[in-house]
Chain A
């Protein structure tokens, strides 16, 4: 194995120390080698790649439909935003539109994920600085947000709920209640956390003036998201190139001033407030689901019994896997473009044409086949600009798929930020960057 650069260049009188990857504040997937003069960091080398799971290469061997679950596990704190980024890139490539209701649901899910992303980041950061109470409070709020997601999507984190061309199913009938609880509880937690941290001298001492980055440096490193905004640059993909219905919603882009750890904390706190605002606006815009029309049809067992004598005329009622994914409802949730969405299960199991359609969708070499070409699209993720670059050669699998992971660019600046500082400054600086291994190492 090659000797690390830092080890080769180290001064004989200084001390080399290894931080991570199995270090609680390094989140298990980062290794920082430090050259120290007592507590002072003379030199640092960050090693990434401990969670390289071959995402991009794996995707080249999966169909466009089947690789969706892998995108869940990129930034696993806000999986729905990754789903959204991928789905929207594919929609751009295929040139399909998404129904209004699905767009609103997507915004709802994105903002829920964004809040839980920021909550997790700040919770971990605060805990690593010693504020365990903050960690417990914020995790409590996240549970309420995840409950809302689970109500609708059926899973807490890795939902694969946002699909190419729309969303998987309609919102749960009781979603308004759970959303209201989540928003209320999160507001309460944000207020409590503000009270605990905003003027806490220990927290201020470890964050103010620590890990400072200038606007120019942040831009040249390719920073985006809350970390870039903490330096005072109001760049937000939702404002800069609005997607979905963000241009119709009222929200502000909070910015910081100095680009230090405290600003990154405060920008995230204020952004969560804005996201809660967005959640309430979107909830008001989403109409209640229309009740299902007509009779539900025969129960499957009854239909089979009758079909022994003759083919029943009545429609067969199949309870879909997720509530609200009935054929009647799909119109508001999925694009009508047959190339893109999975055919409704009612058709698949009850008609010959539906079954053929189903096979044609899932058969190797068939399915979603975008035209030749390449496309880039980005959405605002929890950490910044989540971009997908997909090259298609006209088959049902991507020729190349690249993820622009926001925290990769942010972590690239870590060495510069901690050089010359004390060891203790590594913890809040790294914590405020919100490094997510799945997205960083892919």
Chain B
């Protein structure tokens, strides 16, 4: 025997560890950033190395919402519906300048940042952000998930 016959951890740590490496993401792709999302997801940069490779096209199966690209006022209700359909625990990444703040489109048509519609965990700036930045943002989110305090009152709304 190697001497490592037992392992101790805390439930919270184990849960965070499990969650951060098994993110099922729903890409809410609307615009230019989608191209960089495709790059990040494919072989060169490979988001799968960080445990977020499984793309789910149903919000009900996803726990990470990637808002990729410009969200216009016309699209805003759709984004909110998608967010509401996701099950807890769920996280949101604002991908690209438009999702973060409206970006260069400061006009009548564009929502000035998706945090006006849904809560955001990680903001990835850039127009569009490079795939390396996307991976960095993902690592930041994983860090956040790892250190998240679990709500032990599941099933009851605080």
Contacts and interface: CB of A to CB of B under 8 A. Distances in A.
Contacts of A49: 74
Contacts of B110: 53-54
A53 B71 CA distance: 9
A70 B70 CA distance: 13
Contact of B35 (A22, A53, A57, A157): A157
B109 A54 contact: yes
Given A53-B107, A143-B44, A22 B32 contact: no
Nearest to A31: B78
B142 interface: no
B51 interface: no
B139 interface: no
Interface residues of A, number: 34
Nearest to B33: A76
A325 interface: no
Interface string A14-32: 0000000111100111000
Interface stretch (B2-10, B23-31, B143-151): B23-31
Contacts of A168: none
B108 interface: yes
B21 to A, nearest CB: 22
A69 B103 CA distance: 12
A139 B78 contact: no
Nearest to B32: A76
A437 interface: yes
User: Main secondary structure on chain B at its contact with chain A?
Assistant: loop
Contacts of B105: 53-54, 58
Interface string A408-442: 00000000000000000000000000000110000
Contacts of A21: 75, 78
A89 interface: no
A437 B108 CA distance: 18
Given A136-B43, A139-B43, A437 B107 contact: no
A122 interface: no
B43 A73 contact: no
A136 B42 contact: yes
A142 B41 CA distance: 13
A50 B38 contact: no
A156 interface: yes
B30 A437 contact: yes
B108 A29 contact: no
B72 interface: yes
B31 A157 contact: no
B127 A158 contact: yes
Q: How large is the interface on B (under 10, 10 to 19, 20 to 34, 35 or more residues)?
A: 20 to 34
A379 interface: no
A371 B77 CA distance: 44
Interface string B60-100: 00000000011010110011011000000000000000000
Contacts of B127: 158
Contacts of A143: 39, 42, 44
A76 B44 contact: no
A304 to B, nearest CB: 33
Interface in A45-75: 49-54, 57-58, 69-70, 73
Nearest to A146: B39
B104 A28 contact: no
Interface in A157-208: 157-158
B50 interface: no
A214 B32 CA distance: 32
A307 B144 CA distance: 52
B116 to A, nearest CB: 16
Interface string B104-145: 110111100000000000000001101000000000000000
Contacts of B59: 22
Contact of B31 (A57, A69, A135, A437): A437
A140 B38 CA distance: 10
A77 interface: yes
A119 to B, nearest CB: 11
B82 A157 contact: no
A120 interface: yes
Among B29, B31, B105, the one with the most A-chain Cβ atoms within 10 Å of its Cβ is B31
Contacts of B78: 21-22, 50
A29 B71 CA distance: 10
Nearest to A138: B42
Interface of B: 28-32, 34-36, 38-39, 42-44, 57, 59, 69-70, 72, 74-75, 78-79, 81-82, 104-105, 107-110, 127-128, 130
17 contacts: A50-B30, A50-B74, A51-B30, A53-B72, A54-B110, A57-B107, A57-B108, A73-B104, A120-B38, A123-B38, A139-B42, A139-B43, A140-B42, A140-B44, A143-B42, A157-B128, A437-B30
Interface of A: 21-24, 27-29, 49-54, 57-58, 69-70, 73, 76-77, 120, 123, 135-136, 139-140, 142-143, 146, 156-158, 437-438
Q: Which 5 A-B pairs have the closest CB atoms?
A: A76-B32, A139-B42, A54-B107, A28-B30, A54-B109
